[in-house]
Amino acid sequence: MHPHLPARRARLARRVLERIGPNGLIPAPGSSRVLESALLLALLTKEDLAPAAADLTRRYLKHTLDTDPPDALQCAFAHAALGDALTGSTTVRDALASFDHFSTPRKLLTFQTLLTEITDGAHRRDLPADAFDAHGQQAWLQLQMLALKTITAPRAATCDDWSRLALALRPGPPWQANHLARLVALLALRKHPTHQPAVREALLRISAEQQPDGGLPFVTGMDVFASAVAGIALTRTCPLDPRLAATADALAARQNPDGGFGFTVGVTQSDVDDTSYTLEFLRAAAPVRHTRTITAAEEYLLAQRNPDGGFPTFVHGAPSEIAMTAGAVNALAPNPARRPDVERAVAFLLEADHLVERSWSRNATNALFRVTLALATLTPSAPAPLRAAARAARRRAIRYLTETQEPDGGWGHEPGDASDPISTAYATVALAAAPASAAPALHRALGCLLAAQQPDGGYISRTDQAGPRPLLYDVPALADIWVLLALSACRPRSGRE
Residues designated as active site: 273
**β partners of residue 221:** 29
C-alpha 377/C-alpha 402 separation (Å) is 22
Q: CA angle 106-182-362, nearest 5°?
A: 50
Q: Measuring CA to CA, how many Å separate 327 from each of 47, 217, 355, 367, 394?
A: 45, 26, 13, 9, 15
C-alpha 360/C-alpha 312 separation (Å) is 12
DSSP string, 127-150: --TTTT--TTS-HHHHHHHHHHHH
DSSP string, 171-195: SSSPGGGBHHHHHHHHHHHTTSTTT
C-alpha 36/C-alpha 38 separation (Å) is 5
Displacement of CA 225 from its chain's centroid (Å): 9
- In this structure, the chain runs to a length of 497
Asked if the bond preceding 468 is cis, omega within 30° of 0, the reply is yes
Per-residue burial over 143-156, b if 16 or more Cβ lie within 10 Å, else e, is bbbbbbbbbbeeee
C-alpha 126/C-alpha 139 separation (Å) is 27
**β partners of residue 219:** 178
C-alpha 67/C-alpha 301 separation (Å) is 42
282, 101 Cβ separation under 8 angstroms: no
C-alpha 376/C-alpha 435 separation (Å) is 11
> Which 3 state secondary structure label does DSSP give 375?
helix
